[in-house]
Structure 1
Amino acid sequence: MRTMKLGSSSLEVPVIAVGCMRINSLDKAGAEHFVQTALEEGANFFDHADIYGGGECEEIFADAIHMNDDIREKIILQSKCGIRNGMFDFSKEHILDSVDRILARLKTDYLDTLLLHRPDALVEPEEVAEAFDILESSGKVRHFGVSNQNPMQIELLKKYVKQPLIANQLQLSITNTTMISSGINVNMENEAAVNRDGSILDYCRLHDITIQPWSPFQYGFFEGVFLGSDKFPELNQAIDQIAERYSVSNTTMAIAWLLRHPAQMQPVIGTMNLERLKDCCKAADIRLTREEWYEIYRAAGNVLP
C-alpha cells in the first residue's frame, strides 16, 4: 500500500489506518482472519483506544495477531486515552496508568503513537507534558498526538509539551464536511460559512499534523452509513457513477474522496467486513480528478458560493 509520513515525524505509515473499535464483534477465528487480511493488504497501522470494548478490543487484537517481538516490529500501533467513567481525564496519573494498561493488553513494550482522546475541560498542560516526558524517556511511547481538538487547544498543549503533536483524529466524511465547507464559504452569510472548529484543517496543514478522519462512512454522529442510504440519493448516484469509471466499489470511492484532499489525510476505517476492508485499501491507488471530487462534494448537498 502507498505510504506517507505521519505528521512531522519520520514514521512511515500506510495511508489507511485500520480501526479496531469493533474487533470484539468477531469470534477468535474471525479476528485472526481480519488482522491477517489487513496485513496482506499492506494495512499494518492499527488504531485502538483504551475505552474500546472496555479494553477488550486491545486484548483480542493482541491474541489475534499472535503478538511477539517479530510481529511487533512489522506493525504500527496507535492507541488513545483520556476518557473514563463518564468524564475526560488528562491528568498525569491517568495518562501514565492508561498507557501501562494499554501496553499490557496489547502485549507490547511500546506504542508508536499515543493520542489524547477528547479534550479535557480541566486539562493542566503542565501535567500532560510531564506524562509525555516520562513515557518518551521510558520508551513506552514514541510519538504523540491528539484527537478531536481545535487549534487553540493544541496550542495550549504545545506551550508545555516539547514533543511534536503529529496527528489529530477528527470526524470527517463526505457528509460531514464542516471543516472543509467553512473554508469554501468564507465571508458568506450562510450556514456553511460558520467556522465551528477554528480552521482546524488549515491549522493542521500549516503545522504538519496529519488529520486522521474517523467514521469516514457515517453521516451525523453515528446516525448511519450514507452509502446506499435513501437519505442521500444524489450522492449515491454520483459516487456509483464515478466508482464505475474506476471499476471499484462505492466503498473504495468514499475513501478515495478523502485521500484526494491535499492535506494528506489518513482515514481510520472501522469495518470488520473483509471485502469492505479490501475495498478501502484499493482507494490508496486512486486519485480523483478535481472535477470528480467537487461533483461528489456537491452531490452531498454542499452548495458552492
Structure 2
Amino acid sequence: MAITPPEKDGTRLLYGCMALGGSWDTDTYGPADVDEAEAAIAAALDSGIDTFDHADIYRRGKAEAVFGEVIARTPGLRERIVLQTKCGIRLADGDLPGMYDLRGPSVVRRVEESLGRLRTDVIDVLLLHRPDPLAAPEDIAAALTSLRDQGLVRRFGVSNMNAAQIAALQRHLEFPLVANQLEMSLDRRDWLEGGVLVNTAAAAGNGFPAGTLEYCHENGVRVQAWGALAQGRFTGRQESPEEHATARLLRSLADSKGTTPETVLLWWLQRHPARVAPVVGSGRPERIRACRDAALREPDLTHEEWYELWIAARGAPLP
C-alpha cells in the first residue's frame, strides 16, 4: 500500500525531558522538582523550542509527571507546545530483567499511563523506543491504529530502528511514520563514518545500519538526534587531545559567527541533508539558552567548516 509522506516537519530543535523529575532512585518527586521542570520549560520556550520529548521510563515516570504538573498550573501551555513521548522499554523490576515490550496491549496501556501523567487528552507524537524482537509488526500496527482512531495519539514514529525495521512496520500502516530518533553527535559519528568507510579495512568496525538515513530522507521520516550535545565532551569536559582540539575550533567558529559553541555543535548536525533535528537534554536553563540560535537561525557553517569539525573530532584525515 502506497503511503504519502507527511508535509515537511519544520521542527529544528527539541527539548529532551529526561533530566526532569528528580532522582532515578525514587518513585516520588517534590515541589522543587516541579519548579526545576518549569524553569527548564520556560528556558526552552524562550529559546524558540516548542517540541518536548519524553519517554515513559524517564526518571521512572516522574519526568512526565512533573511536566504534567507544570501544564496543570500554566494556563495555555498545552496549546503552545508539541508533546512527544516514547514507550517500549520496561525497566528491571525485582527479579524481572529490563526488557523491550511492543506487544499491542502493552503499547496501549503505556500510552494511557503517559496521558495521565502528562495531564493531557492527546499525545502529539508517539515513538516506539526500541525494537522488540518478539513483537509482530502487524500487532504493533493494530495498536497504533487503534490509538489514532481513538484520538489518543496524532502521529507516530520510532527510535533506534534501522530502515528495514521501519519499512516492515510501515507496510502494515495506512498512515506514515514521521520520525526516527537515533544517537547522533560530533562524538557519536558511526551514522556518518559508515558512509565513507565503504571499501576500507575500518568498515568492519562500524555497526551503523547502511541505508537508514537515506530511507528516512526518501520517505519523509524526520531524523531526530538524541545525545546531540555529546554529553559536554566538546563544550566543558574535554579529556582527549581530539576533544580539546575540537573544543578550540568550536569556540573559534562560535566567536566568528556571534553565537555559542553549543549552537555550532548543533548546527553541525542540522547542516546534514537528512534535516536532522537535535534533541537538547540539559536540565540547566543556561545551557538550554546556549542552544537558542540552533532553533532560531539557519545553520551557519560552510562546507569547509563542517568538514573541519568532523576531521578534528575524528582525530585523523578522511580515508
TM-score, scaled relative to structure 2? 0.87
* Cross-structure match for 2:16: 19
Q: Is structure 2 residue 313 aligned with structure 1 residue 300?
A: yes
Q: Is structure 2 residue 236 aligned with structure 1 residue 260?
A: no
1:192 positional shift: 7.8
Residues 105-146 of structure 1: CA deviation (Å, up to 9, x unaligned): 001111110000001111211111110111010000110000
* Cross-structure match for 1:90: 102
SS of the residue 1:287 aligns to: coil
Are the counterparts in 2 of residues 34 and 272 from structure 1 also a CA contact under 8 Å?
A: yes
Map 1:1-305 onto structure 2 (within 5 A).
Answer: 8-10=5-7, 12-25=9-22, 27-66=33-72, 70-85=76-91, 86-191=98-203, 194=206, 196-218=208-230, 225-228=233-236, 229-231=238-240, 232-284=243-295, 285=297, 286-301=299-314, 303-305=317-319
1:91 positional shift: 0.4
1:162 positional shift: 2.3
Are the counterparts in 2 of residues 32 and 64 from structure 1 also a CA contact under 8 Å?
A: yes
Residues 155-179 of structure 1: CA deviation (Å, up to 9, x unaligned): 1111212221110000000011111
Superposition CA RMSD, Å: 2.0
Rounded to whole Å, the distance in 2 between the matches of 1:263 and 1:11 is 12
Amino acid in the other structure paired with 2:304: E
Are the counterparts in 2 of residues 21 and 53 from structure 1 also a CA contact under 8 Å?
A: yes
Rounded to whole Å, the distance in 1 between the matches of 2:5 and 2:123 is 17
Residues 65-117 of structure 1: CA deviation (Å, up to 9, x unaligned): 33678332211000000011411011011000000000010011111100000
Q: Which runs of 5+ in 1 are unaligned?
A: 1-6
Question: Judging changes above 3 Å, is the alpha-carbon distance between structure 1 residues 67 and 49 closer, same or farther for their aligned structure 2 residues?
Answer: farther
Provide the identity percentage.
38
Q: Which runs of 5+ in 2 are unaligned?
A: 23-31, 92-97
Are the counterparts in 2 of residues 181 and 193 from structure 1 also a CA contact under 8 Å?
A: no
Rounded to whole Å, the distance in 1 between the matches of 2:69 and 2:48 is 20
Are the counterparts in 2 of residues 18 and 268 from structure 1 also a CA contact under 8 Å?
A: yes
Rounded to whole Å, the distance in 2 between the matches of 1:68 and 1:211 is 31
SS of the residue 1:46 aligns to: strand
Rounded to whole Å, the distance in 2 between the matches of 1:10 and 1:109 is 24
Are the counterparts in 2 of residues 167 and 211 from structure 1 also a CA contact under 8 Å?
A: yes
TM-score, scaled relative to structure 1? 0.90
Aligned length: 295
Rounded to whole Å, the distance in 1 between the matches of 2:230 and 2:156 is 26
SS of the residue 2:201 aligns to: coil
